[in-house]
Structure 1
Amino acid sequence: MNEFWFVPKQTGYGAVPSTWEGYTLVGAFLFIVLVCAFTAIRREKTYSSIVSPPVKVIAVSTIIFVVVCAWETDGSWG
């Protein structure tokens, strides 16, 4: 039951999915990024702050995604 979701890449830095949970996490992350990107493009001129809410969601999602990937990887990324 303690199966890792990702394995380290053979060359380079990072990890690749190895289970359905890993692929689901990558798919959910890509879905969030695409929805936020399209939302930011459609409503480009309606935000009054320097950093729009969709960009903030992408930033937080990326941090969470990287932490979960590192935590669920069998070995190190280096």
Structure 2
Amino acid sequence: MGSSWFVPKTHGYGAFPANWKGWAAVAVFSLLLGLVAIAVFGPLGRLGVALFWQVALYLLLTTVLALGFIVIARRKTSSNWRWRWADDD
């Protein structure tokens, strides 16, 4: 499967970037979230006057991006995700 981009967290649930590829994935995800916000609400926004369809579209697109990122992160993690305490293996 190749090298791992993420390692499991020592406390809690999830993973943490293990190398530059993991950090690049986080950066691309963050950039895409910003671009979605600009595309949906405009470059300057409308100062609190978002239409319902804009909010619904933004929530839909960010949910799709987040789920995609989670799938990639889980596949590129060195072991499976589970709840961990510091003294677990």
TM bucket normalised to smaller: 0.7 to 0.9
Stretches of structure 1 lacking an aligned partner (at least 5 in a row)? none
| Identical pairs, percent | 29
Moved more, 28-37 or 41-50: 41-50
Aligned to 2:22: 22
RMSD: 2.5
The count of residues paired between Structure 1 and Structure 2 equals 78
Q: Which runs of 4+ in 1 moved over 6 A?
A: none
Could you state the TM-score of these two structures normalised by the residue count of structure 1?
0.78
**Equivalent AA in structure 1 for residue 28 of structure 2:** A
Aligned to 2:59: 55
Stretches of structure 2 lacking an aligned partner (at least 5 in a row)? 83-89
After superposition, what is the alpha-carbon deviation per residue over 1:34-64, rounded to whole angstroms, capped at 9, x for unaligned? 3333543815756463853332221110110
Which structure has the larger Rg? 2
